[in-house]
Amino acid sequence: MLKLSCNGLDRVHSFAQCGFSARPACVGPRRRRSGIAGFRSPGVKAFPVVAVVSDRDGAVASRVESEAGTLADRLRLGSLTEDGLSYKEKFIVRSYEVGINKTATVETIANLLQEVGCNHAQSVGYSTDGFATTPTMRKLRLIWVTARMHIEIYKYPAWSDVVEIETWCQGEGRVGTRRDFIMKDFATDQVIGRATSKWVMMNQDTRRLQKVSDDVREEVLVYCPREPRLAIPEEDSNCLKKIPKLEDPAQYSKVGLVPRRADLDMNQHVNNVAYIGWVLESMPQEIIDSHELHSITLDYRRECGQHDVVDSLTGVEMIQGDAEAVPELKATNGSAISKEAKQQFLHLLRLSTNGLEINRGRTEWRKKAPR
């Protein structure tokens, strides 16, 4: 993967601020990618594209551009794609984002997905208050909340690796929207992860779910692909499979988990990513030592507040099928992953006080590559 020294990172940010187009010499020799998108030639005046509005046939009808971007816009290594229907951004994995395996943690990857999704919403002119709401939604005090998140990681990036994440959203029936992601190694253009998520509308005051109205749908779909585009093929995938409830007593548990102040997001409830950490808290240590997480699916059922106490339950789920290799699925060392080498677990997060479900989860683990 493309790796940059700390000094190199400073230079990249300096070039991004100054607005150079050609690949900076300090980044290293040109390999498979020609440069970092978003740089431009000295002296060329350019304004960031805020939104590209397309017609029903998918052709670009108009390009909405701002006359001056913020400092964050100029430094951020992300932008809408040419057709305006998706957004790409590059991230450098920081030292504090890697874990015991010396690679980015799944929480780091989930945070990057959340960041690129929020930046996409801002780039098309949605509100910047953390809710990514349209004008109609703000008028009716509606917000988006996550209903399901599914993440697959084929290869974990390491410290100083550069990853590029593309995201786009599209309609999902009458009750919500879907946001998909593809994560690539920027140096090689290799796909190293995919994700998909489902979002539903909730009234900010009553906390009740609400169907997506035609007015909101029209505001959202203008920035969506005309034809369905799925990051993860739905056949033979866990992304849509129902997650059964894990019954108590579970094989493994971690009780009495308490949200920290740092776990709260700008909407005053526990951030989606914090649930991932709670789910992994009850995983058996022998699996953590010998395996790495291949995929995680979470169904969000209830909000969690700062003063709630949470129990994390985990149990083994039997995998149906034979031990044939899964096509196009590679472990970190590049070898094919077989169903025989993977282990699957069910998870349940619940309130300690009354046992009410917060979310259900499923994780799939593959053997770590020998060192």
Do 232 and 131 lie in one domain? The reply is: yes
Nearest to 282 by CA among 363, 167, 205: 363
Mean pLDDT over each residue of the chain, to the nearest integer:
80
Do 276 and 258 lie in one domain? The reply is: yes
Do 229 and 258 lie in one domain? The reply is: no
CATH number at residue 224: 3.10.129.10
Do 208 and 220 lie in one domain? The reply is: yes
Whether 115 is covered by a domain: the verdict is: yes
Do 181 and 282 lie in one domain? The reply is: no
Q: How confident is the model at residue 143 (pLDDT cuts 50, 70, 90)?
A: confident
201-211 mean pLDDT:
89
CA 3 remoteness from chain centre: 22
Q: Which of 213, 239, 265 is the last residue of a domain?
A: 239
Read off the amino acid at residue 11.
R
Of 26, 118, 238, 267, catalytic: 267
Kindly state the tokens that stand for 284.
């058996």
Read off the amino acid at residue 25.
A
Whether 169 is covered by a domain: the verdict is: yes
Tokens 């505001």, residue located: 219
238 counts as catalytic: no
Kindly state the tokens that stand for 96.
């504090």
Tokens 């874990």, residue located: 99
Rg (CA), the chain: 21
What's the pLDDT score for residue 341?
67
What's the pLDDT score for residue 265?
84
pLDDT tens, residue by residue, 103-129: 999 999 999 999 999 899 888 888 766
pLDDT tens, residue by residue, 75-99: 888 999 999 999 999 999 999 999 9
Number of domains in the chain: 2
Do 122 and 269 lie in one domain? The reply is: no
13 counts as catalytic: no
CB atoms within 10 A of CB 93: 22
For β-strands 162-172 and 87-92, DSSP reports them as antiparallel
Whether 273 is covered by a domain: the verdict is: yes
Do 217 and 277 lie in one domain? The reply is: no
Whether 224 is covered by a domain: the verdict is: yes
Q: Which of 215, 239, 263 is the last residue of a domain?
A: 239
Do 136 and 176 lie in one domain? The reply is: yes
Choose from 126-135, 217-226, 344-353 the range with maximum mean pLDDT. Answer: 344-353
Residue-number span of the structural domain to which 127 is assigned: 72-239
pTM of the predicted protein model? 0.77
Whether 24 is covered by a domain: the verdict is: no
Whether 323 is covered by a domain: the verdict is: no
pLDDT tens, residue by residue, 40-52: 334 333 444 455 5
The torsion angles phi and psi of 68, rounded to 5 degrees, stand at -160, 120
Do 202 and 82 lie in one domain? The reply is: yes
Assess whether pLDDT exceeds 50 at residue 337: no
Q: Which of 239, 273, 306 is the last residue of a domain?
A: 239
Kindly state the tokens that stand for 119.
């930046």
pLDDT tens, residue by residue, 242-301: 999 998 899 999 999 999 999 998 777 899 899 999 999 999 999 999 999 999 999 999
8 A C-beta contact, residue 253 and residue 313: yes
Of 119, 304, 347, 359, catalytic: 304
Kindly state the tokens that stand for 151.
């993440």
* More confident: 325 or 267: 267
Do 85 and 228 lie in one domain? The reply is: yes
333 counts as catalytic: no
Do 149 and 256 lie in one domain? The reply is: no
Whether 165 is covered by a domain: the verdict is: yes
Whether 250 is covered by a domain: the verdict is: yes
Of 269, 291, 294, 347, catalytic: 269
Poorest-pLDDT segment among 174-183, 321-330, 333-342: 321-330
Nearest to 98 by CA among 17, 9, 161: 161
Do 229 and 312 lie in one domain? The reply is: no
